[in-house]
Amino acid sequence: MFTLYILVTILAAAANLYAAANDFLRPQWILDNIARCGGRPSWLLPLGTLKGAGALGLLVGVFVPSIGITAALGLVLFFIGAIAVVVRVRWYSHLPWPAAYLLLAIGSLALRTAVL
């Protein structure tokens, strides 16, 4: 079970680091996405920081369980919010993206609590 936890957590952290890097680099498709959701480009720095902090927290959580649980829970809440935004703007074809990140965060949280 611990091996599965490590694999899911590394995958979740890598996915969130990738998402954070894109928020920091601001490629055109990210700017288009945030505009379509009613956001501003100035929001990308705080959003990327949250994703990056969550990813680092997941990795630290391998060694300090309370940090891993807190980081995973924070990412779960973050991506529930992201799904709410996508539903609010009725961009249903975009739902698989935040849903995948949410499932990774839920998996990391569930496995971290299971291997305590």
> What's residue 65's pLDDT?
97
116 pLDDT tier (thresholds 50, 70, 90): confident
Q: Is the pLDDT of residue 111 over 90?
A: yes
Q: Which residues contact 67 (CB under 8 A, 6 or more apart)?
A: 57, 60, 61
- Residues 108, 73: Cα–Cα separation, whole Å: 9
The 10s digit of each residue's pLDDT in 80-89 is 999 999 999 9
The 10s digit of each residue's pLDDT in 24-74 is 999 999 999 999 999 999 999 999 999 999 999 999 999 999 999 999 999
